[in-house]
Structure 1
Amino acid sequence: MADGQQIGRLLLIQIGDGATPGPETFNSLCGITTRSFNMSANEVDTTIPDCLNPGDTPQKTAEPGIKNRTFSGSGKFVKGATSTAFMEHVNDATKFNAKVIVPGLGTYTGAWFVSEFEFSGEMEGNMDFSATFVAAGPLTFTAEV
């Protein structure tokens, strides 16, 4: 699917295994059925009044400020090696390496942490979870080829 629409289920977060030395392996956090990736920047106001005609209504101007990258997902909790390692980071509130793969755009790799996590479930259903991931340092972006 090189051109056109992209499949939402391919918007992924992959958790690093923390392997050292050697290359780190990244595995998809299984069970996520709904996901979103937010890219935003603070707006730094640069508006100044017209010095020659201070009575004129100023034109609002701005420049980009701090970049913000967040990934959120929810779905069915699936027990496994990746989810066990992930839950240790959630429980201990620690940073971990991860990749966010955005189909049609590229991959954001770096340190992340979970700012919000919730388990939920019905008496006769599977356990669900939701999580919000926030960049914990500079991210490396690799464009999709």
Structure 2
Amino acid sequence: MAAGQQLGRTLLIKIGDGADPEVFTNLCGLKTRSFNMSATEIDTTIPSCTNPGGPVQKTSRPGISNRTFTGSGNFVSSAASKVFMDHVRASEQFNAQVIVPGDGTYEGAWMVTDYSFSGDVEPNMEFSATFVAADVLEFTAEA
């Protein structure tokens, strides 16, 4: 692998166990995953007061930021997945870490906005989940 390149499988979400001190465990079974950072755009465009018929330059400023992690893969039954599924069933927030190789760790309260199980006759049962930040996240840059 070339210098600076990262393996996609090391993009992780780790679910907290709620203990003190909290222990974070990888959400096992993920085969595909993505992490999105975005912000809404607030239009600040004002036509010229001295030349209202002239060209107008669109301007903007950042609005609400959004951090979303999505993943799918094989469902793995374990003690850690039971804790995670308890949060999903209760529609409650929980602590988690998203590890983004080459960038850093986003830690704080998350919630699952969409979760589904799927499966065919022979292959393993699969799941997909969408996680969104439930509070302001703490970012720690990769060393």
Q: Shorter-chain TM-score: what band? A: over 0.9
Residue number in structure 2 paired with 1:87: 85
Residue number in structure 2 paired with 1:11: 11
Map 1:59-78 to 2 at 5 A. Answer: 59-78=57-76
Does 2:118 correspond to 1:120? yes
Gaps of 5+ in 1: none
Paired with 1:8 and 1:86, the residues of 2 have a C-alpha distance of 22
Does the residue aligned with 1:129 lie in a helix, a strand or coil?
strand
How many correspondences in the alignment?
A: 143
Does the residue aligned with 1:30 lie in a helix, a strand or coil?
coil
Deviation at 1:57, TM superposition (A): 2.1
Query: Which letter maps to 2:102?
Result: G
Map 1:51-62 to 2 at 5 A. Answer: 51-62=49-60
Gaps of 5+ in 2: none
TM-score with structure 1 setting the length: 0.96
Paired with 1:78 and 1:99, the residues of 2 have a C-alpha distance of 19
TM-score with structure 2 setting the length: 0.97
Paired with 1:116 and 1:130, the residues of 2 have a C-alpha distance of 8
Query: Which letter maps to 1:70?
Result: T
Q: Deviations over 1:43-84 (max 9, x none)?
A: 010000011100012100000010000000000000001110
Residue number in structure 2 paired with 1:97: 95
Does the residue aligned with 2:22 lie in a helix, a strand or coil?
coil
Q: Which moved more, 1:106-115 or 1:2-11?
A: 2-11
Paired with 1:95 and 1:8, the residues of 2 have a C-alpha distance of 26
Paired with 2:52 and 2:3, the residues of 1 have a C-alpha distance of 51
Query: Which letter maps to 1:126?
Result: N
Paired with 2:107 and 2:94, the residues of 1 have a C-alpha distance of 11
Paired with 1:54 and 1:46, the residues of 2 have a C-alpha distance of 16
Deviation at 1:3, TM superposition (A): 4.3
Alpha carbon RMSD of aligned pairs, Å?
1.2
